[in-house]
Structure 1
Amino acid sequence: MGVHAKPATVLQAYVRDTVSLDGEWKAIVDPYENGYYDYRYQPFDQRPEPPPGAFFTDSKMQNPWDLIEYDFDKAMSLQVPGDWNTQDTRLYYYEGSVWYRKTFDAPARGAADRVFVHFGAVNYRADVYLNGQKLGVHEGGFTPFHFEVTDGLRPTGNSLVLKVDNKRRADAVPTLNTDWWNYGGITRSVSLLVVPATFVRDYRLGLVSLDEWEVVASVQLDGARGGEPVTLVLPELGIHETAEADAQGLAAFRFRVPDAGLWSPESPRLYRVEISSGNDSLVDRIGLRTIATRGKQLLLNGEPVFLRGISIHEEYSAEGGGRVRDAAQARQLLLWAKELGCNFVRLAHYPHNEHIVRLADEMGLMVWSEIPVYWTIDWGNEDTYRNAEDQLTAMIQRDRSRAAVIVWSLANETPVSEARNRFLTRLAAAARELDDSRLLSAAMEKHYRSDDPEVAVVEDPLAELVDLVSFNQYIGWYDGRPEKIDRVRWEIAYDKPVFVSEFGADARQGLQGGIEEIWTEEYQEDLYRRTLPMLDRIDGFVGTSPWILADFRSPRRVLPGVQDDYNRKGLLSEKGVPKKAFFVLRDYYRGKAAEER
């Protein structure tokens, strides 16, 4: 793990005392974006003095003749964090712009302190304004961002306004076509951080050698000039280290921990870490472990491990549906995975909220985290690439000290082409530079040999770049009838571990019938019974994450009485009720766990 990585762009806000701006926000639905453009379609925020009709000015009538055609005070309310689609039936299918406004007083602070406003995620584009002044723009629906607001705050009555736009675009990441719901809104928490002039922006820490029990760490200061002392303490291990920040504010550490207990699913040991510099400090909890490959083996802490996984969408429908809103909902998803016998979760198809990653640390679940380079992206567009790399950077920098995260994934089911290969090669290099202590993968696809249609082949230039050869396959659902599963043989010519990142079939919970009847629990159950032995025959097979833990909303799934806007491949219904296939996979995982003991 190198310490001279790219400068940190995230704030480690999760472990700081913050002033929450969650709760009720006023909202105006604006499908024509009248609050942003004039009637000539020119943006108001590009004028030297925006008119009061621009929604971000949050203007009020001062005279009886003032023409102001909006009023946040009288507008509808939406809860933050939360998506708008499940909060108001009128917005169920809505894709477009919604203005959010929150008023607040400035937090208490010292004369030299700085203040940041931090957003966990906003889907998809956020234009952010404070007291009528534009702070900036963020694109990407699942990554954190922040703005410094030190000089723009008033003592009382601050107005924070966002134009949130979730319209799909061909040049966006993800692009126009996905198989999940395009939930719009401020979907994760918003908070204010008060910090000293020089503060700890970010840190990373990880075990890099089992032989030497060596830990490498770095701390990134913001506002540093160089020479500032930085202290790193792990009190339970007797570690107390001090280093000086360089001219870029980066302090590097290297030390040994021969008496440390290693993090694993069986024993998710976390240690308190204390970081301080000057007037600032933060406290976190970290696990120490290694993840590596050796030929076709996957090694956790130097020992072979089998990934008993499941894929998860960041959706919780048991209480009204929509995006996961808090740690309790995230914990329930992971508890269901634990009931299934999992030691691993694939967080698809975008970076999930920080709650679930930190809970995985605590609960002993290894994690695959990915960015939404999904299906077909605008591969030749440099702005699209930059967007993807920005999301990759934010994901890695936020979570690269979480022991649970063992895989960074670059993409899902992307068709091979020269432009795609160049795009993903650049992304892979960026990921390695950001963090070379974890495995790199992507969910690839299979095809069949032209001379033998029962030999499935995984062959992709991307497989040369990654550590874990992962692919999705749906034999028995999109690809032939279930009996085809019994005949397929596999040809995967890489001396690397093989992971099956998706398989499955749709079933509506409670719909019963014969194994030949699609949509029934019995069909899905039979497909699982056939698929698992087939996967066991793959040379180098080290695990799987079937699709998917629970049914989730998708506008592609419109069959009345069966789908009703839900992808039904879940082993649980959207309400958390198990289907028959749940118990097939649970029994299989219990057998795998017994083999490892």
Structure 2
Amino acid sequence: MNTPRNEYPRPQLVRKDWVNLNGEWDFSFDDKKKGKKEKWFSQFPEPVKKINVPFAYQTELSGINDQSFHDMVWYRREFEVPGSWNEKRTILHFGAVDYRAWVYVNGHLAGFHEGGHVSFTFDITDYLTGDTESLVVRVEDPSTDETIPRGKQFWVQKSDSIWYTRTTGIWQTVWLEAVNPVHFSKVRFTPNVDQGEIGIDFEVAGEYEGKRAGIEIRFKDELVARDSIEVLEPFNKRSINLYNRKIFRTGFHHDGWNWTPENPNLFDVKLVLNDDTAILDEIDSYFGMRKIHRENGMVYLNNKPYYQKLVLDQGYWPQGLLTAPTDEDLKKDIELSKKMGFNGCRKHQKVEDPRFLYWADRLGFLVWGECAASASYSEDAAARLMREWIEIIERDYNHPSIVAWVPLNESWGIPGVRANKQEQHHSLAMYHLVHSLDPTRLVISNDGWELTKSDICAIHNYSHGNKDETAKYEEFKESLATKESLLASQPARRKIYANGFEHQGEPILLTEFGGIGFKIGEDAGWGYTSVSEVDEFIDDYKRIMEAVYSSKALHGFCYTQLTDVEQEINGLLTYNREPKCDLDVIKQINDMWHSEIVKG
């Protein structure tokens, strides 16, 4: 097998010394859960299957393509550490493993991680032999447990309704990295658009005394700032003013260098850690000067009202499920969305690969970051979600494209939140937890309905009806028309706010609607309404959007959805990303909305 997904997997913190471990691994199901007792981490069982990492065994690209339940699986591969790494520490990285992972190096347990959606690392230096090394990963993914964060992964074997095929095991890149015993272990960028400053926080691991950190910031290849910091403690902070730099005084003031979807300006950063004799660590990164806040019932981007035209993006592919077949596929989804006139997406029930966020940063595309939800509430489920979110924000904080976090959706995992005080406390806890970790972005407490405390009043409504259901359409249009009608509506027979909570002036956005079912070729499935011809599809999209345009209270939307997914045929694109109509026509409709807003 050729090594798949061979691009650098962590674009926010790039080092030169790394080795990709994707490609062919040995693989085995452990349905009787005997592998640990039989020490498969030392003696892998025969016969051996082969799997193409990072694709889950349920996918075509894995080479196995088995969608049946297997709750325990094992992986093995051998590798060699470059000789030039002998004086360095070897760090083993996993992009994501769903759901629990035990990692063994040369028969030794190197570490354990629970949580299926974000990255984790282990320092494996002390387990290496200096020869051919053995890496074994044991994974448990309970197929029917409704209290783990599952997202759209169905706990019944066959996909149905809004639920899709499961992803078990390794589904993002596995890689090695060499670091000096003294190195940067964390870097965080916090833009302050109002002051024209970038806050840089960094952490140094190892013997930091007597070390210096150098920072170079460039904009469009021109040097903007250079700084040198004596490292006096493990955690260090620096704020660098950019307004007063010569380059900005001569033509790039304010709007000329802030990050927006229309002008995705980025600053490139090099961080160098050294002592009196040598460079100890060197990292390439970037940041964007971007501010998001709410005021006067509107969302503001860089202190200007900004109407968000988002598309719901599930992030599934027919050959790879949660894993994009190539880096180009991640980029293509953004390009197609922008071609249709959308300025961002709500990445639905999935923590997306950092490469997607990289392309969103580079191409200019707003992202609402969301996490897979559990299906049921329990104290364990609440704790699991909280742990996931701590890791999500740790990983993705630096991406300027992310403007909002969505920790809960449609009361999934909190089915009694309308009146249940414990579940309301969980919703409030998630809102405040996320804000305590990231004060720079908006947080939506329970996207769809039954909101508690929230920065955006996010409403879902699919009740637009088919073309001939004129009364239903008029009712839908009327429900969007004013703030009062929006707040009084009960989509899916759910109140917009949970008992004891009410609208506090936050911006109102229609964050799920549409979902026109349109069958292409032999595809079969469902949508919230249906059409049979291209012209009908375009007319229905325009009809629905006109109801949104006419609202005097909505300050943004998120249309369902970008692509078909398995049995859902309600995308603007097919599952294979083929347009269902001329995408320029969709853009004309979206731009017509913009013209109406400007005129208003």
Q: Structure 1-normalised TM-score?
A: 0.81
Match of 1:241 among 203, 207, 227: 227
What corresponds to 1:351 in structure 2?
A: 351
What corresponds to 1:171 in structure 2?
A: 147
Paired AA for residue 76 in structure 1: K
Task: Say yes or no: does 1:77 pair with 2:65.
Answer: no
What corresponds to 2:439 in structure 1?
A: 436
What corresponds to 2:520 in structure 1?
A: 509
2:339·2:584 contact (CA, 8 Å) conserved in 1? no
Cα distance in structure 2, aligned partners of 1:468 and 1:288: 22
What corresponds to 2:240 in structure 1?
A: 255
Q: 1:238 to 1:323 in 2, by over 3 A?
A: closer
Three-state SS of the structure 1 residue aligned to 2:116 is: coil
Q: 1:544 to 1:423 in 2, by over 3 A?
A: same
1:12·1:202 contact (CA, 8 Å) conserved in 2? no
Q: Is the deviation greater in 516-525 or in 110-119?
A: 516-525
| Offset of residue 134 of structure 1 | 1.4
Matches within 5 A, 1:195-234: 195-210=179-194, 212-225=195-208, 228-234=211-217
Cα distance in structure 1, aligned partners of 2:320 and 2:240: 49
Paired AA for residue 409 in structure 1: V
Task: Say yes or no: does 1:498 pair with 2:498.
Answer: no
Task: Say yes or no: does 1:574 pair with 2:547.
Answer: no
Match of 2:271 among 268, 275, 297: 275
What corresponds to 2:159 in structure 1?
A: none
Cα distance in structure 2, aligned partners of 1:113 and 1:516: 56
**CA deviation vs aligned residue, 1:548-593 (integer Å, no higher than 9, x gap):** 111113xxxxxxxxxxxx2222111112222359666433222244
**CA deviation vs aligned residue, 1:291-344 (integer Å, no higher than 9, x gap):** 111121211111111112111122223x67662143111112112212211111
Q: 1:306 to 1:475 in 2, by over 3 A?
A: same
Q: 1:134 to 1:511 in 2, by over 3 A?
A: closer
Task: Say yes or no: does 1:189 pair with 2:202.
Answer: no
What corresponds to 2:473 in structure 1?
A: 485
What corresponds to 1:406 in structure 2?
A: 403
Three-state SS of the structure 1 residue aligned to 2:357 is: helix
Match of 1:108 among 83, 90, 98: 83
Q: 1:93 to 1:334 in 2, by over 3 A?
A: farther
Q: 1:394 to 1:277 in 2, by over 3 A?
A: same
Q: Structure 2-normalised TM-score?
A: 0.81
Q: Is the deviation greater in 582-591 or in 358-367?
A: 582-591
Three-state SS of the structure 1 residue aligned to 2:407 is: strand
2:564·2:570 contact (CA, 8 Å) conserved in 1? yes
Q: Is the deviation greater in 538-547 or in 185-194?
A: 538-547
Cα distance in structure 2, aligned partners of 1:90 and 1:532: 39
2:101·2:113 contact (CA, 8 Å) conserved in 1? yes
Matches within 5 A, 1:193-592: 193-210=177-194, 212-225=195-208, 228-235=211-218, 236-245=222-231, 247=233, 249-258=234-243, 259=248, 261-278=257-274, 279-317=280-318, 323-373=323-373, 376-378=375-377, 380-381=378-379, 383-414=380-411, 415=415, 416=417, 417-446=420-449, 460-461=451-452, 464=453, 466-476=454-464, 483-487=471-475, 488-489=478-479, 490-492=485-487, 493-505=503-515, 506-510=517-521, 518=530, 520=532, 525=538, 527-553=540-566, 566-580=567-581, 585-592=586-593
| Offset of residue 201 of structure 1 | 1.5
Q: Is the deviation greater in 518-527 or in 385-394?
A: 518-527
| Offset of residue 366 of structure 1 | 1.0
2:27·2:73 contact (CA, 8 Å) conserved in 1? yes
Paired AA for residue 173 in structure 1: P
Cα distance in structure 2, aligned partners of 1:438 and 1:430: 13
Q: 1:298 to 1:103 in 2, by over 3 A?
A: same
1:410·1:428 contact (CA, 8 Å) conserved in 2? yes
Q: 1:35 to 1:100 in 2, by over 3 A?
A: same
2:549·2:593 contact (CA, 8 Å) conserved in 1? no
Three-state SS of the structure 2 residue aligned to 1:412 is: coil
| Offset of residue 511 of structure 1 | 8.2
Paired AA for residue 587 in structure 1: Q
Q: Which runs of 5+ in 1 are unaligned?
A: 1-9, 37-43, 45-52, 60-69, 447-458, 554-565
| Offset of residue 218 of structure 1 | 0.6
What corresponds to 2:110 in structure 1?
A: 135
Three-state SS of the structure 2 residue aligned to 1:433 is: helix
**CA deviation vs aligned residue, 1:429-457 (integer Å, no higher than 9, x gap):** 221121111111245334xxxxxxxxxxx
Q: 1:293 to 1:322 in 2, by over 3 A?
A: closer
Q: How many residues matched? A: 525
Paired AA for residue 401 in structure 1: N
**CA deviation vs aligned residue, 1:362-396 (integer Å, no higher than 9, x gap):** 1111111111135x442x41x33332122212221
| Offset of residue 536 of structure 1 | 3.0
Q: 1:443 to 1:580 in 2, by over 3 A?
A: farther
Q: 1:101 to 1:477 in 2, by over 3 A?
A: farther
**CA deviation vs aligned residue, 1:480-516 (integer Å, no higher than 9, x gap):** 957413224223344121222211233322589xx99
Cα distance in structure 2, aligned partners of 1:111 and 1:391: 34
**CA deviation vs aligned residue, 1:80-121 (integer Å, no higher than 9, x gap):** 111211235651233422211110112334554211100001
Q: What do you get for the CA RMSD once the two structures are aligned?
A: 2.9
1:503·1:546 contact (CA, 8 Å) conserved in 2? yes
2:369·2:402 contact (CA, 8 Å) conserved in 1? yes
Q: Is the deviation greater in 178-187 or in 153-162?
A: 178-187
Cα distance in structure 2, aligned partners of 1:571 and 1:483: 26
1:232·1:242 contact (CA, 8 Å) conserved in 2? yes
Task: Say yes or no: does 1:120 pair with 2:121.
Answer: no
Cα distance in structure 2, aligned partners of 1:222 and 1:428: 31
Three-state SS of the structure 2 residue aligned to 1:135 is: strand
Cα distance in structure 2, aligned partners of 1:240 and 1:361: 23
Cα distance in structure 1, aligned partners of 2:10 and 2:320: 31
Q: 1:323 to 1:520 in 2, by over 3 A?
A: farther
Q: Which runs of 5+ in 2 are unaligned?
A: 1-8, 156-161, 275-279, 480-484, 488-502
Three-state SS of the structure 2 residue aligned to 1:467 is: coil
Paired AA for residue 15 in structure 1: V
1:241·1:253 contact (CA, 8 Å) conserved in 2? no
Paired AA for residue 102 in structure 2: D
| Offset of residue 14 of structure 1 | 5.2
Q: 1:30 to 1:298 in 2, by over 3 A?
A: same
Q: 1:596 to 1:241 in 2, by over 3 A?
A: farther
Q: 1:330 to 1:11 in 2, by over 3 A?
A: closer
Q: 1:131 to 1:402 in 2, by over 3 A?
A: same
